[in-house]
Amino acid sequence: MSEAEQKDTPEQAEFRAYVRKWLKENRPAKPGFRLPQSPLEVMTEEQRQYLCAWQRKCYDAGLVGVDIPKAYGGGGATDKRQRIVNQELGHADVPFFINVIGLGMAAPTILVHGTEEQKRRYVPGILSSDEIWCQGFSEPGAGSDLANSQTFAERKGDMWVINGHKVWTSLAHFASWMILLCRTSRDDKYKGLSYFIVPIKGAKGVTVRPLIKITGETGFNEVLFENLEVPDTLRLDQVGNGWNVAMTTLLYERGAAESAGGAERSLTSVVDRLVSLGKRVKRDGRPAIEDETLRDRIVQFAIKGEAIKQTFRRARVPALTAHPMRIPLQGKLIGSEFSQLASALALEIEGPAANYYMGDPKAPDGAAWPLAYMNSYGITIAAGTSEVQRNILGERVLGLPKSK
């Protein structure tokens, strides 16, 4: 029995048994096409349909939004059952949930800052995956300075007219809605920002253009707004409070909540995958795992993975969360770099075979690791680069002098 299971209440233990049994009996058949490694790399319509159907099936079984009130489409649980689902999803090694931005960022932000009408209208579609969401924060000219956003929303009566340019917009090519940070005043850098939820799919005044990544695939987009008109009812929170709303989104993006399919899920399997790879790949005629140096590297890596798990668990202890950003920032920083280091270690294990890419029958694991290594750089940049995370931790959490 795992440590998590030992701490389950009788009710949680019963729920865990249900989740485990359901996942065993409902594992989807492997599709006849390549599934991407993460929700942010979904490119084709057949991939979208397959993953949306899986999330919808899990939602109908009560495995998505378990801790969200029933009035907003959730399960209404009050004893952290989503955590149990996430742990069992990791053990079951089933497909991921595609609506990652909706589940991890949009829904939590709407639940904190939205009106009752907004919560009832938008959260259920996020949980079921009926409506895919994307995030409109980054801009081509703003660099890492989110507060420098220049996409402008001009008020005209009960409407807002939006013009601007967002970039690195994952899932925009499938999205129905976007959470969007706009400038509504040029008089104040921070208080001149407001936050909207805006339609994307088929909306007049919205153009979505795919960006080609180093992997040769798409997944990111740029989104251009040209006189997009939205009603004031789509504004989230007060005019001029967009910066604070955006901080809520980033807090959740960096791991403040246990949205469906959370970060612990990937940590659960990555070490096992490295060990499996080491057993199958040959080095000097022997399984690579028999190389003492490599074995030590994997063990050190496993220890680091366990330390990250413990960091995530600390986030559940109220006495350790006096500063709301401390553990989420740490989790985002070390978690994203852990994924990158895992991929790099896998390439070392593979040796020269790591040069084979997708489509080459000689590529170990279908070239999953080289692909993961290249994609990992996007993860260390998203939600603020590792350098930005370290600056924030130093200045706002540790109280160190501001960098120049």
**SS3 state at 404:** coil
> In sequence order, which residues have a C-beta less than 8 Å from that of residue 162 and are 6 or more positions away?
151, 152, 153, 154, 180, 182, 196, 198, 205, 225, 227, 228, 229, 230
C-alpha span between 107 and 123 (Å, rounded): 6
253 in active site: yes
**CA distance linking residue 126 with residue 152, whole number of Å:** 26
How many Å apart are CA 158 and CA 303, to the nearest integer? 56
Please tell me the distance from the alpha carbon of residue 274 to that of residue 302, in angstroms, as a whole number.
Answer: 10
- Please state, in angstroms and rounded to a whole number, the distance separating the CA atoms of residues 129 and 270: 26
Question: Active site residue: 253, 258, 264, 350, which one?
Answer: 253
Contact 357, 342 (CB under 8 A): no
Instruction: Say if residues 308 and 334 touch (Cβ distance below 8 Å).
Output: yes
To the nearest 10°, report the CA torsion of 301, 307, 309, 313: 180
* Distance in angstroms between the alpha carbons of the first and the last residue of the chain: 51
Q: Do residues 201 and 192 lie in contact, with contact meaning Cβ atoms separated by under 8 Å?
A: no
Name the one residue in this structure whose structure tokens are 């233990």.
Answer: 13
Residue ranges of alpha helices (H) inside 220-354 are 242-253, 263-280, 292-314, 326-350
Residue 332's identity, in one-letter code, is K
The DSSP H or E segment spanning 223 is strand 220-231
- Side chain identity at 271, as an amino acid letter? V
Compute the chain's Rg from CA coordinates. Answer: 22
Q: Which are the catalytic amino acids? A: 253
